[in-house]
Structure 1
Amino acid sequence: MPRNAVEVHDNLVLEPRDVKFDWSDLPLHWVPDEPFVTHTINVLHLLLPEGERWFIKVFRDALPMIRDEQLREEVLGFIGQESIHAEAHQEVLEHLLAQGLDPRPYVRQIAWLFQRVLGEKPGLSARRRRENVIERVAFVAAIEHFTAFLGHWALNSPALDRAKADPTMVDLLRWHGAEEVEHRSVAFDLMVHLDPGYLRRVRGMTVSGPLLVHLWVRGVRFLLAADPTLQGSIRPSWKLAWDGARRGLLPDPIASLRSGLRYLRPAYHPTQEGSSAQALGYLATSPAARAAAH
């Protein structure tokens, strides 16, 4: 069984870091000569602003249902961190628009998904509203499992440095990734606090895992088609994805699948993934995080 939330998090204090990034010198293809790799990672910027605003709404809806004070503090810290994440990625979208790549058609679809399809359902009874909140928390917990997986990958991706990827973007990915690893247990522990049943976790992953893959594939397809410098010359394919992963420039799809399967183990807990020490170590050296601390 998962460990008790209080036992796991007795020393966890989540601190929102008000970081700022300067995108004025960011090239459209910020991994040089790698438009497919660049845009595959750029899907994060399409998904995360609306997605993380949705996380915040779900967690605020869940706050009155929390009976453990330590967990409540962690949820509030999570909300603070996710709010800053959303704004940081929003700034990248605005930079893409200024460079002639209009992300707004895809972002509107993502907003509709999170607000209308996965949003709060009006007119529910108190019991059904509670059930709806817990179900959405389970979706967040499953998605947060993958954001922590991606965060761990970003912290361990020296190939991006070897490829001379833009250092500001790499810092954004690693700062955000480190905070995802840092708070990787909060959504899971909130889900277990509200419903310790195993089937809730399975339903959350069954919905969220395939949905995330679908949205990512569509996002890559959209960005490659919308890139004004490519004129439709590159079409997304799993072959390109495998090649990027083989060279260490993209996460390994098989490792991602295995990570999702680990989530379904009855004894699983997010503390079994990633390293808090590594995450906090990067946050102590991140240029943006250090600048925010002064």
Structure 2
Amino acid sequence: MIFLRKRESKPVPANDIPQRDLRFTLDDSIPRYWYRGWCHVTRFFDAFSIMFPLGEKFFIDSVKQFRDEIPTGTPLAQEVAGFIHQEATHIREHRLYNQRLAAQGAPTAELDALIARRQQNSLRNISRTTWVALTACLEHYTAILSDQLLRHPEILDGADPTMAAIWRWHAIEETEHKAVAFDVLTTFEPRPLRRYVIRCGAMLGVSVFFVIDLIYFVYRLAACDRQRANWREWWRLLAWLFVYPGIFTRVMPSWLYWFAPWFHPNRIDSRAVLANARRSLEEQS
């Protein structure tokens, strides 16, 4: 069940970042393996949820460093405010999501501690522009994965309706604010060559640890289910990621596009699919 309170009743422009108050009810009616009864694909989504609360706090903190230097009332100031609100809402909802996982026996506290250590290590002796570049990299990951969920809503066919709604909502908001961290980086590191080197280096580093951590989190969640030796489920997950619907295969060109000198998140045009997804969200709320 979804509850939505709008701050204003008029339609939100496609280039705006709305500040919603969206809440989900996660109860015992939701199956343990809520994605078609498939263990490992369910745990793939669940692994992302465990990453989000600390990850999105990291994003908020990186952008907040610049907030006082952005003139009030400017488009960037408004976008930063929307970004912070949306990410804070994601933290709240995914903490509730993760409480459900902890009740199932998932090692959420241990995995949280791993993320905290990873963040502490990454922040040692780096500039604030590098910090926001790391945020922009991870926001690119969430944006291109979200774009797939919005372009291909059939990906969530067969999922529990509440869980599907959580992921569609999250995908909408990641798409809405996908350019904010990148624009902050561009504003506060105006030298194009230096900015390009920072963001490319950040992406290469982020990608290694992101993939390693994601694989490890899925493995740990499968282990808590006593399913780590279920090779049928592992093959099903691999086929789901790389064959059909092939989410990882489909996002590869967009990931590579990051390294183009002229890259900007909004050059990946998601306006039409975002508009359709927003309408669906309004109808369901």
Normalising by the residue count of structure 2, what TM-score does the alignment of the two structures yield? 0.84
What is the match of residue 98 of structure 1? Answer: 103
Which stretch has the larger CA shift, 75-84 or 27-36? 27-36
Residue 277 of structure 1, CA deviation? 3.4
- 1-structure distance, mates of 2:200, 2:223: 35
Match for residue 169 of structure 2 among 150, 169, 175: 175
- Cα pair 1:30 1:166 within 8 Å, conserved: yes
What is the match of residue 71 of structure 1? Answer: 76
Identity %: 27
What is the match of residue 18 of structure 1? Answer: 21
CA offsets 1:87-106 (integer angstroms, 9 cap, x no match): 11111110112233332211
Gaps of 5+ in 1: 1-9, 122-130
Which stretch has the larger CA shift, 10-19 or 93-102? 10-19
What is the match of residue 166 of structure 1? Answer: 160
- What's the secondary structure of 2:211's corresponding residue? helix
The 1:280–1:120 alpha-carbon spacing in structure 2 relative to 1, beyond 3 Å, is: farther
- Cα pair 2:146 2:172 within 8 Å, conserved: yes
Match for residue 147 of structure 1 among 126, 135, 142: 142
Residue 274 of structure 1, CA deviation? 4.3
- What's the secondary structure of 1:20's corresponding residue? strand
Alignment pair present for 1:258 and 2:248: no
Instruction: State the one-letter code of the partner of 2:24.
Output: F
Instruction: State the one-letter code of the partner of 1:283.
Output: R
- What's the secondary structure of 1:32's corresponding residue? coil
- 2-structure distance, mates of 1:102, 1:20: 24
- 2-structure distance, mates of 1:208, 1:133: 16
The 1:231–1:282 alpha-carbon spacing in structure 2 relative to 1, beyond 3 Å, is: closer
The 1:96–1:14 alpha-carbon spacing in structure 2 relative to 1, beyond 3 Å, is: same
Match for residue 243 of structure 1 among 239, 257, 267: 239
- Cα pair 1:49 1:85 within 8 Å, conserved: yes
- What's the secondary structure of 1:268's corresponding residue? coil
Which stretch has the larger CA shift, 196-205 or 137-146? 196-205
Q: Please report the RMSD computed on the Cα atoms of aligned residues, expressed in angstroms.
A: 2.5
- Cα pair 1:135 1:204 within 8 Å, conserved: yes
- What's the secondary structure of 2:260's corresponding residue? coil
CA offsets 1:44-65 (integer angstroms, 9 cap, x no match): 1111110001111111112134
- Cα pair 1:149 1:259 within 8 Å, conserved: yes
- 1-structure distance, mates of 2:171, 2:266: 15
What is the match of residue 89 of structure 2? Answer: 84
Normalising by the residue count of structure 1, what TM-score does the alignment of the two structures yield? 0.82
Residue 238 of structure 1, CA deviation? 7.5
Residue 136 of structure 1, CA deviation? 0.4
- 2-structure distance, mates of 1:161, 1:146: 19
The 1:183–1:276 alpha-carbon spacing in structure 2 relative to 1, beyond 3 Å, is: farther
Gaps of 5+ in 2: 1-12
- What's the secondary structure of 1:184's corresponding residue? coil
Residue 107 of structure 1, CA deviation? 1.5
Alignment pair present for 1:117 and 2:113: no
- Cα pair 1:120 1:132 within 8 Å, conserved: no
The 1:77–1:120 alpha-carbon spacing in structure 2 relative to 1, beyond 3 Å, is: farther
- Cα pair 1:138 1:204 within 8 Å, conserved: yes
What number of residue pairs does the alignment pair up?
266
Instruction: State the one-letter code of the partner of 2:276.
Output: G
Match for residue 285 of structure 1 among 274, 280, 283: 280
- Counterparts of 1:209-220 in structure 2, within 5 Å, are 209-220=207-218
The 1:235–1:224 alpha-carbon spacing in structure 2 relative to 1, beyond 3 Å, is: farther
Alignment pair present for 1:157 and 2:181: no
- 2-structure distance, mates of 1:240, 1:195: 44
